[in-house]
C-alpha cells in the first residue's frame, strides 16, 4: 500500500473515537439498534448494515465550503452519522436541511440533532415541495447517503432532477458508495462526475463522488429528445 494511503488511514484512525462513557455508549447502541431495525424493515432503502463512520463524515465535510453563503441539504440521513460531522465541521445548523424517508429515523433525528437543524420527513425526489421556498435555488451542496446502486435509473433520475432543481448554479451533489464504480450513470443523467477519494475506515470502505450538472451532456440529451420527437 502506498505511503500516502497508510498516512491517511492513520489520520482517519485518530478520528475514529470510541464512545467515551456509559451515556455515549448507550446512545451509540440505541442508534445501531434503530438502524438494524430499519434495515430489516426496508433493506433496499437502507443499503448498509451500520451507520457511516466518523471518518467518512469528516472526509465528506472536507469536500464542501462550510462558510459558503447558501444552504446545505443532506438526503438519506439515517441516524445522522454524517449530519453530526457536517455540524462539527462548521455547517451552521440553521442552514442545514436534513431529508429522511423513514419516519422512525426522522423522529430519531429530531430528538438527537440540535433544534436549529431542519429535519424533514420525505422523499428526496420531491425537494422542490419539501424545502421552504426561500431555500430553492440557494442550495450550495447536497450530501447523499441514499443507496443509489439499489435504485433503477428512473428512480435515480427522479432524485437527481429534484436535487439539481433546488441547487444554486454550480452546486454539487456528493455521494458515497461501497463499490469501485460511480454509483450513478453520470452521462445518462446529464452529469459530470469526479472521484474525490476513498475512506478506508468505514464499514465497508467507501468512495466519495462529486457530481455536477454537465451543461454539454444536458444539451446533448435535449437534442436527442428533440430528434426523437419527445
Ligand X SMILES: C[S@@+](CC[C@H](N)C(=O)[O-])C[C@H]1O[C@@H](n2cnc3c(N)ncnc32)[C@H](O)[C@@H]1O
Tell me the three state secondary structure of residue 158: helix
Q: Confirm if 171 and 139 have CB atoms less than 8 A apart.
A: yes
Pick the closer one to ligand X by CB: 75 or 96. 75
Size (the chain), residues: 230
**123 contacts ligand X (rule: CB under 6 A):** yes
**117 contacts ligand X (rule: CB under 6 A):** no
The CA distance from 65 to 62, in Å, is 8
CB of 91 to ligand X, least distance (A): 14
Strands 118-121 and 139-144: unpaired
Q: How is the beta sheet containing 206-213 ordered, strand by strand?
A: 118-121, 96-100, 71-75, 139-144, 167-177, 206-213, 191-199
Q: Confirm if 105 and 34 have CB atoms less than 8 A apart.
A: yes
Pick the closer one to ligand X by CB: 123 or 217. 123
**183 contacts ligand X (rule: CB under 6 A):** no
Q: Interaction with ligand X in 135-154: which residues (CB under 6 A)?
A: 145-147
Q: Interaction with ligand X in 60-89: which residues (CB under 6 A)?
A: 75-78, 81-82
* Closest residue to ligand X: CB criterion: 78
CB of 34 to ligand X, least distance (A): 10
Residues at the contact surface with ligand X, assessed by CB under 6 A: 45-48, 51-52, 75-78, 81-82, 99-102, 105, 123-125, 145-147, 159
Amino acid at each position: 500500500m502506498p505511503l500516502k494511503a497508510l498516512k491517511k488511514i492513520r489520520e482517519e484512525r485518530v478520528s475514529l473515537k470510541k464512545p467515551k462513557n456509559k451515556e455515549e455508549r448507550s446512545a451509540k447502541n440505541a442508534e445501531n439498534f434503530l438502524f438494524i431495525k430499519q434495515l430489516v424493515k426496508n433493506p433496499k432503502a437502507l443499503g448498509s448494515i451500520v451507520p457511516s463512520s466518523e471518518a467518512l463524515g469528516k472526509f465528506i465535510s472536507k469536500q464542501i465550503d462550510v462558510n459558503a453563503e447558501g444552504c446545505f441539504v443532506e438526503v438519506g440521513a439515517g441516524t445522522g452519522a454524517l449530519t453530526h460531522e457536517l455540524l462539527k465541521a462548521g455547517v451552521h445548523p440553521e442552514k442545514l436541511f436534513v431529508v429522511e424517508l423513514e419516519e422512525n429515523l426522522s423522529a430519531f433525528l429530531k430528538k438527537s440533532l440540535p433544534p436549529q437543524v431542519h429535519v424533514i420527513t420525505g422523499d428526496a425526489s420531491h425537494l422542490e415541495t419539501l424545502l421552504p421556498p426561500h431555500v430553492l435555488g440557494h442550495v450550495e451542496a447536497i450530501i447523499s447517503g441514499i443507496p443509489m446502486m439499489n435504485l433503477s435509473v428512473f428512480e435515480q433520475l427522479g432524485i437527481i432532477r429534484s436535487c439539481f432543481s433546488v441547487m444554486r448554479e454550480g452546486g454539487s451533489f456528493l455521494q458515497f458508495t461501497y463499490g469501485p464504480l460511480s454509483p450513478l450513470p453520470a452521462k445518462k443523467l446529464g452529469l459530470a462526475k469526479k472521484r474525490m477519494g476513498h475512506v478506508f475506515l468505514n464499514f465497508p470502505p467507501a468512495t466519495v463522488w462529486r457530481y455536477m450538472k454537465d451543461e454539454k451532456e444536458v444539451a446533448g440529451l435535449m437534442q436527442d429528445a428533440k430528434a426523437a420527437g419527445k
